[in-house]
Every structure is written in C-alpha cells, then in structure tokens.
C-alpha cells in the first residue's frame, strides 16, 4: 500500500473547482494509474492551510504522478509515494484519526418516493451513532471525537449541481481488533469512495 501527498495551488481554477466537485479530482488522480480500479484509490482534499490544498492519496499500486498532465500552476509539489506498513497497529494502541465520510441510512419505508435510496444523516446523535456502529465493525473504539460539516457537489454523470452534505471526524481511537482495523484502512469506511470519502488517516498520539 502506498501513501502520497499532492499540494495543489488553491488559487488555481481547476484546483478550486475540484475541491467543490471531488469526483472531478478523482478523475484527475486516476490518470496516475494504468488500472485505477485495481489501485483501490482512497483520497481526501484537506484545506487546513491557506492558499494550499493538501490531497492525501492511498493506493494499492504505486502511482506515477508525472502522468497527470496538468498546468504547472495547478500543482505546487508532490511527495514521492511512500510504502505504508500497518504492523504497528496493536491491541490497545491509542491513535489520532481523521475520517471524511457521508453517514447515511437506507430508506426502508414502503411506498416512500425514495424507497431503497440512501439519505444523508443530519441529526447530530444519528451521526455519532453511525460512527459508533462503524467503529465496532472495524476494530476500534472512539474515545474522543468532534466533527465538522463539509459540503460538496456531485458532478458524476452530469447530475444537476446542488450542495450536498458530509462530515469530517477528528478524534482519538483505541484499537480493539488490529486485523479489522488494518482491513478498514485498506478498504476505507463508508460509501462513495470516488467522492473523497472513506480514507481513514491514523497518526500517533502526541
């Protein structure tokens, strides 16, 4: 597994647009792979630093970022892909984490016009309950967490643009099942990976 970081110029029109339309950023990133579907790309565009967009990209295949074919002003710098080992994930270990995702539930009510479709969770308690359920399924326990709401637009298949909601969790977790957590890091958590959701970033507690 490989982890890369691309720093984009937040003032460049393409970079600005791709932050709001993450599926377009996904299409740009896919150019670095011969077979993107085999690479299992997970990514997240962080805008914590003024003037820059830090794009973290996780993949099972080493990317070739020289193939992006973008304007010079779009890309400020690229860190070489780094091989990631997850052997250090051990039972009881405390780790900081970040997860951007779209907590949702499927509408099961018979006769509902959107029956069978998934809808985003908006209630704070429902969002935290979603995270608790995902943590139990993926080998960790959340000890401390906060979330911010983030907004994006779906441009796939020429869909009508409208502002959609998601959340970004930042917090502290305790490893309860190392193998399950490693699998969660590999596969991501939640749905809609092509929109920049699901990448579980872990870091030591300082």
List, in order of start, the domains of the chain with CATH numbers. 2-83 (3.30.70.1200), 94-204 (3.30.70.1210)
Q: Between 75 and 163, whose confidence is greater?
A: 75
Q: What is the percent of the chain where pLDDT is above 90?
A: 75
Instruction: With cut-offs at 50, 70 and 90, classify the pLDDT of residue 159.
Output: low
State the number of CA atoms in the 13 A half-sphere of 201 facing the CB. Answer: 22
pLDDT at 111 over 70: no
For residue 109, what are the CA distances in angstroms to 130, 186, 203? Answer: 19, 34, 41
Residue 151 confidence class, pLDDT cut points 50, 70, 90: confident
SS3 assignment, position 48: coil
* Per-residue pLDDT at 121: 85
Q: What mean pLDDT is reported for the chain?
A: 91
Residue whose pair of structure tokens reads 């779009």 in the numeric block: 74
Residue 165 is predicted with a pLDDT of 85
For residue 190, pLDDT over 80 is answered with yes
């Amino acid at each position: 597994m490989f982890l890369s970081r691309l720093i984009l110029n937040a003032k460049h029109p393409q970079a600005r647009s791709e932050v709001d339309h993450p599926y377009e950023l996904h299409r740009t990133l896919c150019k670095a792979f011969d077979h993107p579907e085999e690479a299992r790309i997970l990514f997240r565009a962080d805008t914590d630093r003024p003037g820059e967009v830090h794009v973290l990209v996780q993949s099972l295949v080493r990317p070739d970022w020289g193939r992006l074919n973008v304007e010079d002003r779009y890309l400020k710098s690229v860190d070489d892909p780094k091989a990631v080992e997850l052997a250090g994930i051990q039972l009881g270990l405390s780790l900081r984490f970040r997860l951007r995702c779209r907590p949702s539930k499927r509408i099961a009510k018979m006769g509902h016009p959107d029956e069978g479709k998934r809808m985003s969770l908006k209630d704070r308690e429902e969002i935290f309950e979603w995270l608790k359920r995902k943590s139990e399924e993926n080998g960790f326990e959340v000890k401390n967490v906060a979330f911010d709401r983030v907004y994006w637009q779906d441009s796939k298949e020429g869909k009508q643009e409208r502002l959609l909601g998601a959340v970004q969790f930042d917090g502290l977790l305790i490893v309860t099942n190392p193998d399950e957590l490693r699998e969660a890091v590999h596969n991501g958590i939640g749905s809609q990976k092509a929109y920049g959701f699901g990448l579980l970033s872990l870091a030591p507690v300082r």
